[in-house]
Structure formats: C-alpha cells, structure tokens
Amino acid sequence: MHTLLVYFLGILFTITGYHNDVDSIPKTDSLQFKTIVFSRSARDCEKCNIEMKFSYPQITGAGNSGIRDSLNNRIQRYVLRSVYRGIKVSDPRQIYGHLVQEYDSLIKIFPDYPHHKWYLNRTVKIIAHTSTYISLEMEEDVFTGGAHPLSTRNYETFNENTGQKLSLHGIIKTGMMDTLLSISERIFRETRSLSPDTSLKKSWFLV
C-alpha cells in the first residue's frame, strides 16, 4: 500500500512532526537552478527511429552546500541510469548510443521489424520548496521494443537545511502510519471510482 502514498503528500503535514501549515511556510529564495535539456530525435540516426529527451534542474545556488550537493547528486543518479543493467554511464550521449546499438542489432536479427519508434524521456522537476523541505518529481517514459511502454513517477523530499532525504517513517508520528494508509486508500478509491470492497489487486493496482 505504500505505493499509494505519493498522491497524498499534503496529508502528511496533519499527522507528522511538521506542525507548520504548508501554506504558512514562506518559500525561500536561496534555491537557484538552471534547466538542462538534452534531446535526440530520429533525424540524428540515419537507420533507426529513436527519440530521447532529458530535462532536469542543475542546482547552482542553495542555502548551503549540503542541500545543493544532495539534490544534484540525486538528480544525476536518476538521469544517468543506463537502460540496460550492468552498464555505467556518465553522459546522456552514452545512453543514446546504447539505444542505437540495440536498435541496430534488433534490425539485423529481425529485418522485418516494423520500425516502431523507440523513446526514452526523463524529466525532473522541483515541485515544492519551502524553508523546511524541497521535493522532487522524477518521471520516466520509455519504450525499447518490448510488449508495451513503461511509465514511472517517483517523488522524493529532502530536508532544506541538511540535504538529508526524508522518509515516511522518519517524519510520521509514532502510531500514525495506519491512519495515513487508511486516509490514502480512501482517497485513492474515491479518485478511481472504486468501491470500498473492490480488490485493488484484482483491479490491477500494485499494493
């Protein structure tokens, strides 16, 4: 059920040790960043049909070096992940090169492959920033010739002062986790028009 919690970040501040109302916490101006965009299209590859786009913030200034380094390190780890296990990369161009190699190999083995477009899109956004915390949204859409595309979206929150990543168990008051899960599930079911007795697993939701 923990996978449902990303929808209900606002609920946390009613049952956590953070007693400030979210709207009453002043946004700080200490965080400065520039958006990095890397893109490749089918025009960049003569014999393949691959599109790739990465967009993410690079933190250039923050209240302290701890939060700046923590955010930049996390963003880089997310963006610079190889599509294929066991391969380390240090540049988006390497990721694109690996996709091209795999695409070419597939065409050689299966000449009649219908040349479906492959794509890999990764986006990182700063979706919340207060004097207490900073939250990131990290999203990926990918298709590399399998049975279907895959989309994922992750959320992570960091302490504004220390740069430490926050976890639910680190901020939820003792004994309140079950309450949070109950509220989260109720809102999730209402959003998805699911009755209280409908099985989430049988409805194809990961719990």
Residue 179 identity (one-letter amino acid): T
pLDDT 10s digits, 140-177: 999 998 788 999 999 999 998 889 999 888 778 888 98
Tell me the C-alpha distance between 54 and 39, whole Å.
Answer: 6
Structure-block tokens of residue 4: 């449902």
Taking a C-beta distance cutoff of 8 angstroms, is the pair 95, 162 a contact?
no
pLDDT band at 29 (very low <50, low <70, confident <90, very high): low
Residues near 129 by beta carbon (within 8 Å), at least 6 away in sequence: 27, 28, 31, 135, 160
115 and 47: one domain? yes
Look at residue 33 and give its three-state secondary structure: strand
pLDDT band at 6 (very low <50, low <70, confident <90, very high): very low
32 and 125: one domain? yes
pLDDT tops 90 at residue 52: yes
Query: Is residue 21 included in any domain, yes or no?
Result: no
Q: Which domain holds residue 176?
A: 1-16+172-207
Tell me the C-alpha distance between 113 and 127, whole Å.
Answer: 40
pLDDT 10s digits, 84-111: 888 999 999 999 999 999 998 888 898 8
Query: Is residue 205 included in any domain, yes or no?
Result: yes
pTM, to two decimals: 0.76
124 and 200: one domain? no
Tell me the C-alpha distance between 117 and 60, whole Å.
Answer: 35
